[in-house]
Amino acid sequence: AQTVTQSQPEMSVQEAETVTLSCTYDTSESDYYLFWYKQPPSRQMILVIRQEAYKQQNATENRFSVNFQKAAKSFSLKISDSQLGDAAMYFCAYRSAIYYGGSQGNLIFGKGTKLSVKP
């Protein structure tokens, strides 16, 4: 079974600085997707960025970028020029890309990292 681990329960960053959130995962599948979701105090789950495992190029969305290391099964999120609105819980998630005879299309989440942004 696939697992996702976020080893940093809480992180803090100064406004305008850069912060990196860590995520590792375990899978025997070769084709899958990885995601970072943001959950602000409103509790809405917001997709921040996604990475397809077969793509070597790291995904980027404005101030958010990932460092995807497939061999190491590592998927970290870098937030540049941090803003007060970035304060939230961040969840790393895994999803199988195709049917692997037992795997499912649901998301598997890590426990989350609570990010605080200091003004």
Partner 1 sequence: DSGVTQTPKHLITATGQRVTLRCSPRSGDLSVYWYQQSLDQGLQFLIQYYNGEERAKGNILERFSAQQFPDLHSELNLSSLELGDSALYFCASSVGLYDEQYFGPGTRLTVT
What are the beta bridge partners of residue 51?
34
Q: Which of 45, 52, 74, 114 binds partner 1 (CB under 8 A)?
A: 45
Binding pattern for the stretch 72-91 against partner 1, x by CB under 8 A and - elsewhere: -------------------x
Binding residue for partner 1, selected from 70, 95, 114, 116, defined by CB under 8 A: 95
- 63 binds partner 1, rule: CB under 8 A: no
Q: Does 50 bind partner 1 (CB under 8 A)?
A: yes
Only one residue has tokens 């809405």, namely 44
98 binds partner 1 (CB under 8 A): yes
Contacts to partner 1 by CB under 8 A: 42-45, 47, 50, 91, 95-99, 104-112
